[in-house]
Amino acid sequence: MDTIDIINKKRMGFSLTREEISYMVMGYVKEEIPDYQMSAFLMSICTKGMNEEETFDLTDVMLHSGEILDTSMFGIHTVDKHSTGGVGDKTTLVVAPLVASVGVNVIKMSGRGLGFTGGTIDKLESIPGLRTYLTEEELMKQIEDIHVCIASGGKDLVIADKKMYALRDVTGTVESIPLIASSIMSKKIAAGSKKIVMDVKVGNGALMKTKEEAEQLSKTMIQIGKKYGVQVECVLSDMTCPLGYAIGNALEVKESIEALKGNFAPDFYELVVFLASRMVALGLEISLEEAKRMVLENLENKKAYDVFLELVKKQHGNIDEMDIANTSYTVLSEEEGYITSIDALELAKISSMLGSGREKLDDVIDYGVGLWLLKKPGDFVKKGEALIQVYYREKMVEKEEILKNFIIEKERKEISSVVLGYLK
């Protein structure tokens, strides 16, 4: 087999055999194929796509490039959650303990943030002392004790994705449905998930910019799941405006704690309740109504908050020592009216510039900086009223750079639901 022939075959739009896909992926893992040829191969997939069979073969080859966990000992009442990545998306921090609080096991393997999207592991690590690397024994004990752990994936799962994702990130080859679906599904299957609720984000702050693209990605992941006997349900959720109030690691943990105590931003509440209800219904095999009742009860009686505190304690974190920048300023509105939109992508870039995100995987991030929205779409704002609080340390941002991301109009627009659709 010849590397250049395979790249050319895909570049011309032909379908690849499993052997050809395996030759490329495993050749790259073994460092027999260099970055520049793999980049060309990935770009040819981005432009020409892959059919269902090729996408499945790619997933399967990637899956077998590393270890595969067996979590069957935890039984059928085990559910996983995954988000395709958004701005201010701290949902896992609330949903995982909430779902665990009703007795469903949540073994959550999470990643770090790259580019404009944040990662749950970075958010959790903003809690001083918190360990995200758990041994197999620690993980099992924690699931037995409190039904939940949030950990960084073991280093030997889906080795191909680690290498390919890092390369895609710097070669403009992230936004491709077959590449995203195979990357996500190979990791989920390797982590032993049998039931998964996916939060597929849609909008300018997400990888999928339109609902149609998000539906196509969802259908692809559901199909891949079926081939492995894995139940995948996809929730399409809006990512044109940042989710909740906070963007930035420690600030998002702070918002999650507030939410678990009962103080939710409306969009965050809607998404948390929807995702958690779906997960509980899937995990316990009960009706959605019954699942929702349990979810609302455990938010109300603070059992979900207790599980979050237990999780932090068991993973050695100390929330009393969190370091949020003590230098901050507010940006005031220069006009009066109703906020009709807040640009998620641009605010994510600003937060990242303040130090909360990384460009490369080995960049050091500042957990304590970021943004806190004081107004959300639908809110009325007076001239001179505060729109947003900026937490900074070394770098600051001009207020004009922030203000241009808020659209303020005379007429109030109907605020649409954050949940845009659901597929299974």
Active site residues: 82, 161, 168, 183, 187
The count of residues interacting with ligand URA (CB under 6 A) is: 9
Point out which span in 54-62, 174-182, 290-298, 386-394 binds ligand URA (CB under 6 A).
174-182
Point out which span in 19-27, 178-186, 291-299, 303-311 binds ligand URA (CB under 6 A).
178-186
Give the Cα separation of 81 and 61 in Å (integer).
23
Q: Is there a contact between 147 and 107 (Cβ–Cβ < 8 Å)?
A: no
Choice from 22, 84, 256, 352 touching ligand URA (CB under 6 A): 84
Residues 6 or more apart from 135 whose CB is under 8 A from it?
A: none
Q: Is 91 in the site for ligand URA (CB under 6 A)?
A: no
Point out which span in 151-159, 176-184, 318-326, 339-347 binds ligand URA (CB under 6 A).
176-184
The CB-of-49 to ligand URA minimum distance in angstroms stands at 15
Give the Cα separation of 182 and 50 in Å (integer).
11
Point out which span in 95-103, 179-187, 321-329, 372-380 binds ligand URA (CB under 6 A).
179-187
Count of other CB atoms within 10 angstroms of residue 9: 17
The CB-of-296 to ligand URA minimum distance in angstroms stands at 30
Give which of 284, 239, 349 is closest to 106, Cα–Cα: 284
CA distance from start to end of the chain: 39
Choice from 27, 85, 153, 242 touching ligand URA (CB under 6 A): 85
The CB-of-68 to ligand URA minimum distance in angstroms stands at 17
Residue ranges of alpha helices (H) inside 285-369 are: 288-300, 303-314, 344-351
The CB-of-89 to ligand URA minimum distance in angstroms stands at 12
According to DSSP, the residues that pair with 232 across neighbouring strands are 196
Choice from 120, 173, 183, 249 touching ligand URA (CB under 6 A): 183
Q: Is 22 in the site for ligand URA (CB under 6 A)?
A: no
Count of other CB atoms within 10 angstroms of residue 400: 9
Residue 141 or 358: the one with the smaller Cβ distance to ligand URA is: 358
Torsion of CA 185, 172, 235, 338, to 10 degrees: 160
C-alpha dihedral sign at 86, 89, 91, 93: positive
Exposure string over 156-187, b if 16+ CB within 10 A, otherwise e: ebbbbbbbbbebbeebebbebbbbbbbbbbbb
Give the Cα separation of 339 and 40 in Å (integer).
43
Backbone angles phi, psi at 50, to 5 degrees: -145, 145
Q: Is 371 helix (H, G, I), strand (E, B) or coil?
A: strand
Choice from 25, 61, 96, 184 touching ligand URA (CB under 6 A): 184
The CB-of-207 to ligand URA minimum distance in angstroms stands at 6
The CB-of-177 to ligand URA minimum distance in angstroms stands at 10
Taking residues 234 to 273 in sequence order and writing x for each that binds ligand URA by CB under 6 A, - otherwise, the string is ----------------------------------------
Residue nearest to ligand URA (CB): 183
Choice from 25, 180, 214, 281 touching ligand URA (CB under 6 A): 180
201-230 residues in contact with ligand URA (CB under 6 A) are 207
Applying CB under 6 A, which residues contact ligand URA?
84-85, 165, 174, 179-180, 183-184, 207
